[in-house]
Amino acid sequence: MYDIRKVREDFPILSREVYGKPLVYLDNAATTQKPLCVLDAMREEYLNVNANVHRGVHYLSQQATDLHEAAREKVRQFINAAKTEEIIFTRGTTEAINLVASSFCENQMKEGDEVLVSDMEHHSNIVPWQLQAMKRGIVVKHLPIDDKGCLDLSTFNAHLSSKTKLVSIAHVSNVLGTVNDVKRIVEMAHACGIPVLVDGAQSAPHMKIDVQAIGCDFYAFSGHKMYGPTGVGVLYGKEEWLEKLPPYQGGGEMIDKVTWEKTTFERLPFKFEAGTPDYVATHGLATAIDYLCSVGIDNIKAHEQELTRYCMEQLKTIDGIRIFGEAEHKDAVVSFLVGDIHHLDMGTLLDRLGIAVRTGHHCAQPLMDRLGISGTVRASFALYNTKEEIDVLVAGIRRVSQMF
């Protein structure tokens, strides 16, 4: 394991106060705090290496390009992709899924064809497909969950048909914390000749990712949820699929040759990276990956799973508590309600005690409908959280409950 006190020193924001109370930051599923090394790396690049990448022959441009492409290689290693050509930089998971939805549907799907998602998906893995349904007449189907918040994989094949062209599924639910068996899902889908996209926004910060072992065709994640900067993310795609798909956007960088009659496109991965990339953010993301690896992904996973178990145990001692998501394989997220207290009221009053949690539907309204509620309070954990912070959360919930 690691020295949690030493780790917390890397995140100065954790030492601040809110309303005169020590900050207890438990909204990590929305975004994580950033270690000093990430901020320092980005500041250093802006101060000393700031120039547009891939386009200049001068020294600064070459140096910035080297850092940008080194970041691509760092990501490749982090998720064990076969080639750097399979790593596409995006603005985040949302843009990555929109990219696949737009490009895949353009030449791989026709009216009446189906994409299968699940009841636990974030809106980012629902709305892009619904937009394609409106444009192209495709059909969005959804795989149900059971009362513990697990996918019912026994019915998986029943939801497939000759018209199913893609399965798009979350690796970890941002509400339930359920860790889906994506390897098994990929095996079942591939047995029917169907490719799979995995939404890894909630898994990349918490566990070792090996896209070749999973076998997925696409994998998406965000930098800001894994201690990196906002506005940068990654789409992994198998080379064979990326070669088949048309560009998502047009402009600079992604072209080979432009004439009035015709445009030809750049090789992978640049075909999907129109315009100036956030090359400083990619360097920040690479630094965040280095930080994660220095702490140890397996260490982080063990620490966060212990926090999750402890939080679940302590919350269950509170009268009227309802916990949503009790899968055997669960990680880093606990969503709950207490009695008839509205989630917004609970979150607002916890905030006055210095406790930052998320309230609402968490961009998962179809899941809320399945659970029969309008929203939850969500506590989500990171490598810097402690059991003592969970004790503060539990005491805060008890205090708010007594007020009602």
Rounded distance between C-alpha atoms, residue 216 and residue 143, angstroms: 18
For the question of residue 192 being annotated catalytic, the response is no
Please, are residues 279 and 356 in contact by the beta-carbon 8 Å criterion? no
Say if CB 104 and CB 114 are below 8 A apart: no
Q: Bridge partners of 348?
A: none
Reduced to 3 states, what is the DSSP secondary structure of residue 49? coil
Work out the end-to-end distance of the chain between its first and last CA atoms, rounded to an integer number of angstroms.
40
Q: Which amino acid is at 190?
A: H
Burial 75-102 (b: 16+ CB within 10 A, else e): bbebbebeeebbbbbbbbbbbbbbbbbb
| Residues forming a β-bridge with 141 | 116
Contact by Cβ (8 Å): 196, 216: yes
Q: Which residues pair with 197 in a beta bridge?
A: 168, 218
| Contact partners, residue 158, CB within 8 Å, separation at least 6 | none
Contact present, 34 and 11 (Cβ < 8 Å): yes
Asked whether 132 and 105 are in contact (CB, 8 A), the reply is: yes
Collapsing DSSP states into helix, strand and coil, what is residue 187?
helix
Q: Smallest Cα–Cα separation from 90: which of 287, 281, 363, 288?
A: 281
Alpha-carbon distance values, 63 to 8, 68, 229, 268, 358 (Å): 32, 9, 20, 21, 40
Q: Which of 37, 150, 311, 363 is catalytic?
A: 363
Q: CA-to-CA distance for 198 and 171, rounded, in angstroms?
A: 6
Q: How far apart are CA 318 and CA 391, in angstroms?
A: 12
Pairing relationship of beta strands 196-199 and 164-170 according to DSSP bridges: parallel
* Greatest CA separation for the chain: 72
Residue numbers annotated as active site: 363
